[in-house]
Amino acid sequence: MTAPSVVPAPPEAPNALFELLQRLGDDRLVLGHRLSEWCGHGPILEEDIALANIALDLIGEATMLLRLAGQVEGQGRDEDALAYLREAVDFRNCRMVELPNGDFGFTIARQFLFDVYSVVLLDALTHSAHEELAAIAAKALKEARYHVRHSGDWMLKLGDGTEESHRRVQRALDELWRFTPELFATDDIDHAMRQANIAPDLGVLHEQWEALVRDVIDRATLTLPHDVPSAPGVRGGRQGFHTEHLGHLLAEMQIVARSHPGAKW
Amino acid sequence: MTGTMTNADREAAEQVRDLPGGDWPLWEVFTQSGQGAPHEHAGSLHAADAEQALQNARDVYARRGGVISLWVVPSGAITASSPGESGPFFDPGADKAYRHPQFYKVPRGVRGL
Amino acid sequence: MPQTRAPGSTEDPAMTAAFEARIAAGESIEPKDWMPERYRRQLVRMMSQHAHSEVVGMLPEANWITRAPSLRRKVGLLAKVQDEAGHGLYIYCGAETLGVDRAELVQQLLDGRAKYSSIFNYPTLSWADIGVIGWLVDGAAIVNQTVLAKASYGPYARAMIRICKEENFHKRQGYEIVSTLAAGTPAQKAMVQDAVNRWWWPSLMMFGPSDTESPNSAELLRWKVKRKSNDELRQRFVNLTVPQAIAVALTLPDPALRHDEATDAWISGPIDWDEFHEVVRGNGPCNRERLQARRAAHDEGTWVREAASAYAARQRAKQATAAA
């Protein structure tokens, strides 16, 4: 037996910008998809319309981000190819957004935690050295500012509403909290993007985020969970390590597109 | 689900139920479509409070753009004239020709009036 | 409903005559105007059925939002179904001007006491159904609503005007999906033809029974709530739609369909009214599922609505205390 004659090539240097754009785009695509599941099933007609509006904003943002990602990658993939033809392990969203909707309290608590994250992150990205990304961030920031007004108001209403609503939304917060460190965990991609002045320091954003979240949580008479994992865990959605829920979500989302290869819609 | 409400909750919720529209009261929505344009009645909706009424009005009546300002008013706060009295109420205004410029004659050839 | 007195029993004949004269003169009736109790009740019935139809109608289409095959289709469909919610809302609000609460109307729907358009008791089985619903079902609804925009009751007519403006995009979206599929792969063509086969006849039934069979038609026409008969509107829809089917080489499942040269009209074959009455009676393919979905949304939303009410009341109480 001889030694293998071919030494495996070193893995191609990951295109950090492509990775970053997928992270931003996939967060919004997956969360927008989850919110769209509410359509027709909301607690009251007015709220059905509100949730659909937020879903539309998020999917619109995802479309722009994934389109740009495809251009940056340069392999001829457009936003639909990225949304409909990637496997779960190739998605780069944080895990929080792929969790099933749960009750309205869970949906709102997740939305609130994400919306605040989105506002601080997009605000920073408007100063990105990457002009197209900065322009998308500026547009998305306006939308996110409205989203947090909506979810923040509901946090107050549910937290300081009835005993039942308080209990439900507190339970949702407790369940979601362990997924929040992932939003601010940094890896080589983040370092490279920060070096290039394309993306901000997530550590700084973490403090802003927590202050804003804490303010609303306090006013909503809720309590921040204490059992915060100090480290965000070794790997998460940003590296393709998802919960089992994402595969099911994608199976549904991609079924028609994948059943007819090459078809136009 | 009412069983999980405290007395204070129930008392609070009952005040709301007194208002027209069931659980959430009815609000009238007025939209302004451009700088200098008047606010016009667009329709109504249900909301628990003013902030929610504003947010819902944005999503229900301004989701296609073209609106730069919104008013929301609890429907119960609007006092309307009564159609049964519309004769005495409005007709006297209809024959006051001297309130309209056409009532007054201007000599031929004079402009700017 | 707050008032239940029998029509004509206590109503002043002079008032009724004056009302009829206003209608005949083409005047618009407003909420605080005097109106015969029967007119009010017919309007509440018709408007609430219409609003229920918009809301129940969200369900078969929402069934495909999560499976829309491209991002463009996903936002288009979501925005469309969201519009249906908005349209239900506008019409409920219009009905509320007649002195009835939306909560009460919704309860009638959930209890199975109120009707809604039977078309929404059919299932959506493929992506092509989304295109065909937009084209045929929204197409039929637009024919109806364009005429309702001239209804004698002001709030109903105004809601219809707003809805017609917004629904323009629904039909175009549907037809775009249909024409794309019709020009697509053999599998896509088969999919869209199958959808047309399933939706064509139910779409024609949307206009309701023939006028000779329709119990409410004559009165509604006299009061100018309806402005055209069911059969006239159905014929208008057929005349509009057949050329659109021909343009994308789709076959309508009616072997008797023919063009009448003299009137330049497309004449369809007989409608199976037995099927229509079965679905209205609750025996359509999805009647149970639709109501179950609405009930679940309502029940699971109770604690949410209560929370917002309790919060609002507490805030008001705080403000009152602070002001005192």
Which among A27, A44, A24, A33 has a CA at the least distance from the CA of A199? A24
Residue A264 lies in a domain: no
| CA–CA gap between residue A25 and residue A69 (Å, rounded) | 8
Domain limits at A251?
Answer: 16-223+236-259
C8: confidence class by pLDDT, cuts 50, 70, 90:
very low
Backbone phi and psi for residue C319, each to the nearest 5 degrees, phi listed first = -65, -40
Residue A6 lies in a domain: no
**Which residues 6+ apart lie within 8 Å of A241 measured at CB?**
A235
CB spacing of C75 vs A63 below 8 angstroms: yes
Give me the residues paired with residue C259 across strands.
Answer: C266
pLDDT, residue B11, reads 55
Q: Is the pLDDT of residue B3 over 90?
A: no
pLDDT, residue B21, reads 36
C316 contacts in chain A (CB < 8 Å): none
Helix/strand/coil for B70: strand
Residue B76 lies in a domain: yes
| CA–CA gap between residue A250 and residue A5 (Å, rounded) | 40
Express each pLDDT in C99-143 by its tens digit.
999 999 999 999 999 999 999 999 999 999 999 999 999 999 999
- CATH of residue A168's domain is 1.20.1260.10
> What is the C-alpha radius of gyration for chain A, rounded to an integer number of angstroms?
19
* A103 shares contact with chain C (CB less than 8 Å): yes
The structure's pTM equals: 0.91
CB spacing of A161 vs C300 below 8 angstroms: no
Residue B112 lies in a domain: no
pLDDT, residue B8, reads 56
Element (H, E) at C309: helix C287-323
Show the tokens assigned to C279: 């679905």
Express each pLDDT in B7-26 by its tens digit.
555 555 554 444 433 479 99
CB spacing of B4 vs A53 below 8 angstroms: no
C78 contacts in chain A (CB < 8 Å): 36, 39, 52, 55-56, 59
Provide DSSP, chain A: -PPPSSPPPPPPPP-HHHHHHHHHHHHHHHHHHHHHTTTT--SSHHHHHHHHHHHHHHHHHHHHHHHHHHHHHTSS--HHHHHHH--GGG----SGGGS---SHHHHHHHHHHHHHHHHHHHHHHTT-SSHHHHHHHHHHHHHHHHHHHHHHHHHHHHHTS-HHHHHHHHHHHHHHGGGSHHHH---HHHHHHHHTTSS--HHHHHHHHHHHHHHHHHHTT----S---SS--S--GGGT---THHHHHHHHHHHHHHHSTT---
Residue B37 lies in a domain: yes
* A46 shares contact with chain B (CB less than 8 Å): yes
User: Which chains have 3 or more CB–CB distances shorter than 8 Å to chain C?
Assistant: A, B
- Pick among B55, B58, B63 to test the A interface (most A CBs inside 10 A): B55
pLDDT, residue A75, reads 95
pLDDT, residue C287, reads 94
CB spacing of A39 vs C305 below 8 angstroms: no
pLDDT, residue C193, reads 98
Helix/strand/coil for B40: strand
pLDDT, residue C5, reads 44
Express each pLDDT in C293-311 by its tens digit.
999 999 999 999 999 999 9
pLDDT, residue A229, reads 62
* C267 shares contact with chain A (CB less than 8 Å): no
Residue A138 lies in a domain: yes
CB nearest to B9's CB, from A149, A157, A162: A162
Residue A4 lies in a domain: no
* B4 shares contact with chain A (CB less than 8 Å): yes
User: What distance separates the 2 farthest-apart alpha carbons in chain A?
Assistant: 74
| CA–CA gap between residue A231 and residue A229 (Å, rounded) | 6
- Pick among C83, C168, C306, C315 to test the B interface (most B CBs inside 10 A): C306
Residue A231 lies in a domain: no
Residue B94 lies in a domain: no
* A134 shares contact with chain C (CB less than 8 Å): no
Q: How far apart are the first and last CA of chain A?
A: 54
Interface of B with A in 41-60 (CB under 8 A): 45-48, 51-52, 55-56, 58-60
Chains A & B: contacts with CB separation below 8 Å: 40
CA distance B95 to chain A (A): 46
Give me the residues paired with residue C234 across strands.
Answer: none
Mean pLDDT within C259-284 = 93
Show the tokens assigned to B33: 């479509």
CB spacing of B13 vs C310 below 8 angstroms: yes
Q: How far apart are the first and last CA of chain C?
A: 39
| CA–CA gap between residue C58 and residue C138 (Å, rounded) | 12
CB spacing of A40 vs C310 below 8 angstroms: no
Number of domains in chain A: 1
Residue A9 lies in a domain: no
Domain limits at B14?
Answer: 7-84
pLDDT, residue B80, reads 85
| CA–CA gap between residue A25 and residue A30 (Å, rounded) | 9
| CA–CA gap between residue C293 and residue A41 (Å, rounded) | 7
Mean pLDDT within B59-88 = 88
Residue A244 lies in a domain: yes
From A177-181, A182-186, C6-10, C13-17, the region with the lowest mean pLDDT: C6-10
Number of domains in chain B: 1
Local confidence pLDDT in tens for the 265 residues of chain A = 455 555 554 444 459 999 999 999 999 999 999 999 999 999 999 999 999 999 999 999 999 999 999 999 999 999 999 999 999 999 999 999 999 999 999 999 999 999 999 999 999 999 999 999 999 999 999 999 999 999 999 999 999 999 999 999 999 999 999 999 999 999 999 999 999 999 999 999 999 999 999 999 999 999 998 766 655 556 899 999 999 999 999 999 999 999 999 999 9
* A219 shares contact with chain C (CB less than 8 Å): no
Which among C220, C64, C208, C86 has a CA at the least distance from the CA of C132? C64
A221 contacts in chain C (CB < 8 Å): none
pLDDT, residue B69, reads 96
pLDDT, residue C319, reads 87
Q: How far apart are the first and last CA of chain B?
A: 70
B4 or C36, which is more confident? C36
B2: confidence class by pLDDT, cuts 50, 70, 90:
very low
- Pick among B2, B6, B9 to test the C interface (most C CBs inside 10 A): B9
- CATH of residue B24's domain is 3.10.20.520
Which among A26, A2, A23, A7 has a CA at the least distance from the CA of A192? A23
| CA–CA gap between residue A52 and residue C79 (Å, rounded) | 7
Residue A230 lies in a domain: no
- Determine the residue type at A122: L
